[in-house]
Structure 1
């Protein structure tokens, strides 16, 4: 396939949710942080036929998805994964519905490139949605739709690439960019559990099994969220996150990650996003790396290596 020069390049940083988790769906404020690594989307032109040829590459430049879609209908001509092709087609059709000139008849070649492993939970879906929204000039929250029934914090975070406090008011996102540069950040690390959760499944479980959440709990989570950026000491930071974990554990009626895997670790172990998988936040203790390595957890990333700062 002949390809013209690069036409457009779009990029979105990934995200991590430090506070709020499931409570955001009930009105609490949450704190989200952008990650250094993200995902790019590059559009090229070609002149052989009226098709969209899509290729997605992972962090080691391995092709993990390929699809060819007829234009302007976006009918699937070829795909290496039907479910992914259908979800992608739906995102593109939604964009096309709101921008009639988008993907008309001119053939294009699209390449996406992740900078992090797909099982890291840093936002392979949200960064893609945001990049498509930039390309098609539509609202990314509109693209989120029913396929991704979360709070939308991830779209907010990857859209502005800044630490944010996020909340839902009458189902509408409210975003407050903040500064988050804790003086003890050299003592904060991110540990990958290699147990990626399906966020949609986790949210469905939450909605099905939680009959009600007290206003007191929502207020407590919001209070913790607003105090976190102003912590001056690691001790204060750890105490707030420990309280946050206990509230969430009681609400979900499941033990904390620390209780399950690291009961004798003296630092904080804070779940990030859907409980049970992806990354957790760890505070430094002497012998930390050896401690986690002996338990089979070897992906430990420093704050400065993970979190994007403008």
Structure 2
């Protein structure tokens, strides 16, 4: 049997509302044109193989098992990745009422580095939900938790304002195509941030009604200010100030780049992954001189809208 099915899911950047999005604060998020792909080839037997490749072609994970073992309550394996994959697949089958899984060969590939924080967990959830026909939000909440904004980005056609809405997500697609995009770029901080660990830093008791309202208005504020660098910087700086007060951490600019002339905003969990920075052409050299060599331009990552 050589019945192949192919699926894709987009990476993401969270522009506003990190941490607070789980407390029903609307967040601005942008899907990326960088994808994760899943190719499934059905088999005539009960054998299952899974191979995952990084964006550079390196095989970083593989599994060989069979349907009965995979569908058991506890797969006979000590590899935590295999155990998690087993949980995701079994949960997806339960959510889709699909009890007829047979052998398959799975190959997963990436347009972006799996350590980059662009969303390998959420894209995996999206891909499996597409394949097995279940609700991706339910699968995400059962297997990983989180707000689900990244699930919304995985198949969106443009940027969006995402509301967690007590695990009943509301998604509004918006146009976020800054006139100043040549002055906006993304810098990888050379370290991976575990979003589940970072969520624990958020102190919801500090989220006053006034701060909630201010954060709720941030998505439209960023969009409206995206034709003027100085106004855009004001929104970045204020947003960083608010989130800093809620999680008890200094903004990344104060931590690492205090002498930088432009503005810098964390994207998602603070302390790792990518940041968004503003500045002219020479501003990229500032980060390269400090050893941050992975710099992406807006048009390299943003979906065309």
Find the counterpart in structure 2 of residue 217 from structure 1. 211
Output one character per residue of 1:247-300: Cα deviation in whole Å (capped at 9) or x when no partner: 111222211100111111111101000001100001123521221112111111
The residue matched to 2:253 in structure 1 has which SS? helix
Given the alignment of the two structures, is residue 19 of structure 1 paired with residue 13 of structure 2, yes or no? no
* Distance in 1 separating the partners of 2:17 and 2:231: 18
TM-score (norm 2): 0.93
* Distance in 1 separating the partners of 2:118 and 2:76: 28
* Distance in 1 separating the partners of 2:279 and 2:180: 10
How far off is 1:129 after superposition? 0.4
Map 1:253-292 → 2, pairs under 5 A: 253-285=248-280, 287-292=282-287
The residue matched to 2:291 in structure 1 has which SS? coil
Find the counterpart in structure 2 of residue 112 from structure 1. 108
* Distance in 1 separating the partners of 2:293 and 2:180: 23
Find the counterpart in structure 2 of residue 236 from structure 1. 231
How far off is 1:237 after superposition? 1.1
- Which of 169, 176, 181 is the matching residue for 2:172? 176
In the alignment of these two chains, the number of paired residues is 302
The residue matched to 1:19 in structure 2 has which SS? coil
The residue matched to 2:280 in structure 1 has which SS? coil
Find the counterpart in structure 1 of residue 155 from structure 2. 159
Structure 2, gaps ≥5 residues long: none
Find the counterpart in structure 2 of residue 36 from structure 1. 33
How far off is 1:160 after superposition? 2.0
How far off is 1:193 after superposition? 0.3
The residue matched to 1:42 in structure 2 has which SS? strand
* Distance in 1 separating the partners of 2:111 and 2:281: 30
8 Å contact kept, 1:6–1:42: no
8 Å contact kept, 2:96–2:134: yes
- Which of 215, 220, 227 is the matching residue for 1:226? 220
Structure 1, gaps ≥5 residues long: none
How far off is 1:78 after superposition? 7.9
* Distance in 2 separating the partners of 1:271 and 1:42: 33
8 Å contact kept, 1:16–1:273: yes
The residue matched to 2:118 in structure 1 has which SS? coil
How far off is 1:14 after superposition? 0.3
* Distance in 2 separating the partners of 1:166 and 1:114: 25
With over 3 angstroms needed to count, the CA separation of the structure-2 counterparts of 1:51 and 1:145, relative to structure 1, is farther
* Distance in 2 separating the partners of 1:247 and 1:101: 45
- Once superposed, which parts of structure 1, at least 4 consecutive aligned residues long, lie more than 4 Å away? 75-79
